[in-house]
Structure 1
Amino acid sequence: MLNMSYGQFSFFLLVCFCQLSFSSSIPHLCHKDQSSALLKFKKTLTVDPSLVLCNFYYYTSSWNMSIDFCSWDGVIWDEMTGYVIELDLSCNSLVGKIDSNISLFQLSHLQSLDLSMNNFSYSHISPKFGRFSSLIHLNLRNSYFSGQIPSEIFHLYKLQSLLLSTSYDTVPKLATHDFRFLLQNLTLLRVLDLRGVSISSAITLNFSSHLTTLVLRKSELYGVIPESIFHLPKLEILDLSSNYKLSGYFPKTKWNSSASLIDLNLQGVNFCGNLPESLGYLTSLRTLFLVLCNIWGPIPESLSNLTRIEYLFLADNFLNGTIPSWIFSLPSLIDLELSNNHFSGQLEDIKSDSRLFIDLSNNQLQGNLPKSIQNLVNITNLDLSFNNFSRNVDVSFFSDFKHLSSLDLSYNSISLTNENNVNFSLPESLVYLQLAACEVKELEFLRSAKKLEDLDLSNNKLQGIFPDWASCNWMFSLRTLNLSHNMLTSMELIYLARNNLKGEIPQCLGNISGLEVLDMHHNSLTGTLPNTFRFRSSLRSLNLNGNKLEGKIPQSLANCKELQVVDLGDNHLIDIFPMWLGTLPKLQILSLRSNELHGSIRTPTIENIFPNLRMLDLSSNSFIENLPTGLFQHLKAMRTICQAMNAPSDGGDGYQDSVNIVTKGLEREVVRILFLYATIDFLNNKFEGHIPSIMGDLIALRMLNLSHNEFNHLVGVIPAQFSSLAVLYFSYNHLEGCIPQGNQFHTFDNNSYVGNDGLSGFPLSKVCGSDDNDTETNDTTSGLDDEEISE
């Protein structure tokens, strides 16, 4: 029992009371100069939600003085001193520069700083990071830092984790002497991640014995890996991959780190030797990546001890012998990659129900596919391509693979049959299917596979017509389709107009052999147009009007020499005028209306372009400068009225082309296009200058619309040659003189001329030769009626 006087005891109670009072007021000890520094730091940055990688809540949103700054998100204060000791702003979509003058460096008591997964706009890492003398954890990975890493950071002797890695194109640099200095000074390091940092150095021997994680992936290291790395006692993660000038030797005896090593990635490091038995000591190993390591020989029996292994990547080496059956029975194995080696012989019996990913492609395996493969009922990916497997394989062989998403049996000696005539389809989960050279004769077994994205059926025995159900099932899932080297007779027409189709147009549609018509107008398609149209394509009609397509007009369309109709109107295409389309000798209709096309239409440098063009609609774009006189000179089909002129062919499939046109302010879809109906519509652009006289030579024109442009200096009279026009719009310009009379001119109403104060004559109220604006005549609103338009 304590022996103290009453006075001493009273003093003791007073001290305890003061301490309790002090503890209760801890939140008020948070220094305002620290919160002020945080607020100034916040003002130098912005939040870009499009950069969200992990968090959907931004810590800095709580940083304002209306909230107790001791409770700001991402900030931890020392309860005794009131200083900020931890700052975590990882994954906060922050954008801005981190220079040496920012207030962040006023937080001098920081022990942990995490700015990872943001965008600091290629800022150089400031030497002032070296002022955080109490720092234990520093994480700047994947935040778009660049330039030389300052040596001042390597004076932070208390550091236990240092993460400066990048997966982007910023490539920070670390001088060779600084790399050595880092390893010598930071003796307490547990985690070192310099992935993607350009070091260009050999690996020295000075590694902290405390290291649990060492990641130097893609760091331009060279020389020989010191064997001491494999004996670091606490090492759990070792990644030296993608250092292709690095070589090494595996320990032949038990590794000191064997009990702790979990992840080992040495992809691309040259070991030039057998797989060692010593790998079998790594009983805690979950991932083993030894791809492209120049190793050979058989898989050692000792690897059967790796009972916790989940990912076993040994691809792209020179391994040989047979594949041991025990490898499929490793209890935790998820992914087995043995492709591109020299394994031979037959597959032994497989006993596993794991959810496996197996790739044995590009080896010399042979014999029948073992029936025991059917035991892999939970398999998700199976690749046996480019081997010597042989036998007739019935499609029902895969009937129990309910989770299968990828199957590749290409280029073996397999014949895929349906001899049992069972009503069986491959699983709906299938996404990737490669059956090249598998003697496939029919497609019925694929009817239920509606999620296919990649399908290769080349070099088979398919014949006849490509089934309609296949086109419908795969239209919006397929990205690639290969049907080459078969005996298919057609796939001629895809007509899916006026539906509610969404998503991107599959690129494979551009290279479907025999396709003549692709009509998907008035849907909700997004993305870009396919750019895979082949040379000698059969495509004659392309109509994608009324969707939400973006990007440019694909230049591979120039390969489609049979094209007669191209309608890409009412989309969001951004491009200049595609003069190269003029090389299509049979093109008759080109509609690019209501897009975001821009620039001037230059004089073509190629002779004989657009020789058969009869309908040109560029309305509602942003074309500028003068009307394209050089283009008009080439429009031969608009300069003659020839009764023998051919209408767009229907190819014998009953399909009739259609195009949307605007007449008298109304948009109409003309379903059967008259071969004498020539039109030019340049409505709502930014053309300027004058109407070239050569337009008077386009005597086949039935409609010309030049209204709502910027012909601010347009003067002169309307050419009398336009008397053959059925529809004419010259509104809102500065034309003058008398309106020609006769032929079709008497059918035009006021709307054709409104906004031209200098014009006079019928149907305007201003009489030719008179300044009396009160003289009235009756308006005439007749023109092409519905019957004439429909014909």
Structure 2
Amino acid sequence: MLQYLDLGENQIKDIFPSWLGVLQKLKVLILRSNGFHGTIGAPKSDFVFPGLHIIDLSNNEFTGLLPSKYFKTWNAMRNLNVESWTYMHSVGIAFAVEYNYRYRSVYNYSLTLTNKGVNMKFTQVSEVFIVIDLSSNRFQGEIPESIGNVDGLQLLNLSNNLLVGQIPPAIGSLSNLEALDLSRNKLVGRIPWQLKQLNFLAVFNVSHNNLTGPIPQGGQFNTFDNSSFDGNLGLCGNPLSKKCEDSETSSSSPPSSTSSEENEDLVSFFHFGWRAVLMGYGFGMAIGVIIGQITVTRKHDWFIKIFGHQRWRKPIKSLANW
């Protein structure tokens, strides 16, 4: 029946306790600031941690790749019913035998999370609050596309690791995301324009990576200051003082639906044009044959005189008999 397990701020030295995945009702797992180490590996089945909403493994010594297969199995982090949410709490029933008295006690869960480098205390935790914090470890490799499966995610912190590769556009599908921290890694390439779709994104930090190209403009990106992009010498565009070249700006924009429609219209025009030419050519040939038949039939002597071939004495069969 365990729902909330906070072992943070201790001196536990161990590998990831994957065996806790059998706890069907576990919603919050906090192992932050310990000595956990090694790789997380893959889940043994698709039914581990089925009720997990919040996982905080920050400030440990985990290595290897990010747990991409867990991102596919944490189903409680998806398809949330935000209309009927409450706060996470435990309810205890206690009895005092001598007074025959029964009372109900409620304990609200609370936790501390790191948001843009600042520890934030949450005295109450919403049932629909979805968090993955894997920051300050030694995770390597790329951010997997499977992160897009956790579509109820509100806070994602992968900062201060050894992650490489590009920021996956799949993060742009996390429509509920409010805070994204990818700072202090080794990420390269451009910031995907798909991140402009994150209408609730209030905190964004990709500082101290190796990102290049223009910063997406519009949406929530108009609210972020320079500190969100510090330490990326290849970035350009607002809010940075470094301006982008026109070619860079145009290549970072989403595909234009107008251009696509124009191309389709152009293709349709040429397709119809060639059909019209062929139809006209065939119609012209038919008219020519008919006129030729009439000429040969009715002006047979004149035709023989002009072309001098006796084989034309027999009239050509009518086209209607073909």
So what's the TM-score if we normalise by structure 1?
0.25
Matched, 1:736 2:175: no
Q: Would the alpha carbon gap of residues 759 and 641 (structure 1) be closer, same or farther in structure 2, given more than 3 Å must change?
A: farther
Structure 1 residue 578, shift from structure 2 partner: 0.5
Matched, 1:638 2:77: yes
1:168-317 correspondence to structure 2 within 5 Å: none
Structure 1 residue runs without a partner (length 5+): 1-561, 780-791
Q: What is the rounded CA distance, in whole Å, between the counterparts of 1:685 and 1:641 in structure 2?
A: 29
Give the one of 736, 760, 772 matched to 2:214.
Answer: 760
Aligned partners of 1:688 and 1:710 also within 8 Å? yes
Q: What is the rounded CA distance, in whole Å, between the counterparts of 2:200 and 2:85 in structure 1?
A: 26
What amino acid does structure 2 have at the position aligned with 1:734? Answer: L
Matched, 1:615 2:77: no
The alignment partner of 1:757 has SS state of strand
Q: Deviations over 1:352-381 (max 9, x none)?
A: xxxxxxxxxxxxxxxxxxxxxxxxxxxxxx
Structure with more relative contact order (C-alpha pairs < 8 Å, separation 6 or more)? 2
Matched, 1:573 2:12: yes
The alignment partner of 1:655 has SS state of strand
Q: Deviations over 1:71-90 (max 9, x none)?
A: xxxxxxxxxxxxxxxxxxxx
Q: What is the rounded CA distance, in whole Å, between the counterparts of 1:646 and 1:609 in structure 2?
A: 24
Aligned partners of 1:682 and 1:707 also within 8 Å? yes
Show the counterpart of 2:22: 583
Give the one of 80, 88, 91 matched to 1:648.
Answer: 88
Structure 1 residue 676, shift from structure 2 partner: 0.9
Show the counterpart of 2:239: 777
What amino acid does structure 2 have at the position aligned with 1:597? Answer: F
Q: Deviations over 1:490-519 (max 9, x none)?
A: xxxxxxxxxxxxxxxxxxxxxxxxxxxxxx
What amino acid does structure 2 have at the position aligned with 1:600? Answer: T
Structure 1 residue 734, shift from structure 2 partner: 1.2
Structure 1 residue 649, shift from structure 2 partner: 3.6
Show the counterpart of 2:255: none
Q: Deviations over 1:128-164 (max 9, x none)?
A: xxxxxxxxxxxxxxxxxxxxxxxxxxxxxxxxxxxxx
Taking only aligned residues, the RMSD between alpha carbons, in angstroms, comes to 2.8
Aligned partners of 1:641 and 1:699 also within 8 Å? no
The alignment partner of 1:581 has SS state of helix
Matched, 1:748 2:203: yes
Matched, 1:715 2:166: yes
Q: What is the rounded CA distance, in whole Å, between the counterparts of 1:690 and 1:638 in structure 2?
A: 22
**Percent identity for Structure 1 against Structure 2:** 31
Show the counterpart of 1:662: 114
Aligned partners of 1:718 and 1:735 also within 8 Å? no
Q: Deviations over 1:217-273 (max 9, x none)?
A: xxxxxxxxxxxxxxxxxxxxxxxxxxxxxxxxxxxxxxxxxxxxxxxxxxxxxxxxx
What amino acid does structure 1 have at the position aligned with 2:203? Answer: F
What amino acid does structure 2 have at the position aligned with 1:693? Answer: E
Q: Would the alpha carbon gap of residues 565 and 759 (structure 1) be closer, same or farther in structure 2, given more than 3 Å must change?
A: farther
Structure 1 residue 694, shift from structure 2 partner: 1.3
* Higher Rg: 1
Show the counterpart of 1:599: 38
Q: Would the alpha carbon gap of residues 606 and 666 (structure 1) be closer, same or farther in structure 2, given more than 3 Å must change?
A: same
Q: Would the alpha carbon gap of residues 665 and 689 (structure 1) be closer, same or farther in structure 2, given more than 3 Å must change?
A: same
Structure 1 residue 755, shift from structure 2 partner: 2.2
Q: What is the rounded CA distance, in whole Å, between the counterparts of 2:69 and 2:180 in structure 1?
A: 22
Q: What is the rounded CA distance, in whole Å, between the counterparts of 1:775 and 1:629 in structure 2?
A: 33
Structure 1 residue 722, shift from structure 2 partner: 3.2
Q: Deviations over 1:262-291 (max 9, x none)?
A: xxxxxxxxxxxxxxxxxxxxxxxxxxxxxx
Structure 1 residue 745, shift from structure 2 partner: 6.6
Q: What is the rounded CA distance, in whole Å, between the counterparts of 1:773 and 1:670 in structure 2?
A: 34
Q: Would the alpha carbon gap of residues 649 and 746 (structure 1) be closer, same or farther in structure 2, given more than 3 Å must change?
A: closer
Aligned partners of 1:717 and 1:735 also within 8 Å? no
Show the counterpart of 1:693: 145
The alignment partner of 1:566 has SS state of strand
Structure 1 residue 617, shift from structure 2 partner: 0.2
Structure 2 residue runs without a partner (length 5+): 92-103, 216-220, 242-322
Structure 1 residue 604, shift from structure 2 partner: 1.5
The alignment partner of 1:687 has SS state of strand
The alignment partner of 1:667 has SS state of strand
The alignment partner of 2:49 has SS state of coil
Q: Would the alpha carbon gap of residues 571 and 696 (structure 1) be closer, same or farther in structure 2, given more than 3 Å must change?
A: same
Q: What is the rounded CA distance, in whole Å, between the counterparts of 2:39 and 2:239 in structure 1?
A: 40
The alignment partner of 2:173 has SS state of helix
Structure 1 residue 607, shift from structure 2 partner: 3.6
Q: What is the rounded CA distance, in whole Å, between the counterparts of 1:594 and 1:615 in structure 2?
A: 16
The alignment partner of 2:63 has SS state of strand
So what's the TM-score if we normalise by structure 2?
0.60
The alignment partner of 2:166 has SS state of coil
Q: Would the alpha carbon gap of residues 735 and 772 (structure 1) be closer, same or farther in structure 2, given more than 3 Å must change?
A: closer
Give the one of 543, 554, 564 matched to 2:3.
Answer: 564
Structure 1 residue 717, shift from structure 2 partner: 3.9
1:201-600 correspondence to structure 2 within 5 Å: 562-600=1-39
Structure 1 residue 716, shift from structure 2 partner: 4.8
The alignment partner of 2:142 has SS state of coil
Q: Would the alpha carbon gap of residues 777 and 585 (structure 1) be closer, same or farther in structure 2, given more than 3 Å must change?
A: same
Structure 1 residue 624, shift from structure 2 partner: 0.8
The alignment partner of 1:696 has SS state of helix
Q: What is the rounded CA distance, in whole Å, between the counterparts of 1:632 and 1:605 in structure 2?
A: 14
Q: What is the rounded CA distance, in whole Å, between the counterparts of 1:672 and 1:773 in structure 2?
A: 39
Structure 1 residue 723, shift from structure 2 partner: 4.1
Structure 1 residue 714, shift from structure 2 partner: 1.9
Q: Would the alpha carbon gap of residues 777 and 638 (structure 1) be closer, same or farther in structure 2, given more than 3 Å must change?
A: same
Structure 1 residue 634, shift from structure 2 partner: 1.3
Q: What is the rounded CA distance, in whole Å, between the counterparts of 1:606 and 1:572 in structure 2?
A: 29
What amino acid does structure 2 have at the position aligned with 1:563? Answer: L
Q: What is the rounded CA distance, in whole Å, between the counterparts of 1:777 and 1:584 in structure 2?
A: 46
Give the one of 654, 672, 675 matched to 2:127.
Answer: 675
Q: Deviations over 1:729-778 (max 9, x none)?
A: 011231422342133476335x34442322631457799xxx99664427
Aligned partners of 2:55 and 2:132 also within 8 Å? yes
Q: What is the rounded CA distance, in whole Å, between the counterparts of 1:663 and 1:752 in structure 2?
A: 13
Q: What is the rounded CA distance, in whole Å, between the counterparts of 2:126 and 2:59 in structure 1?
A: 24
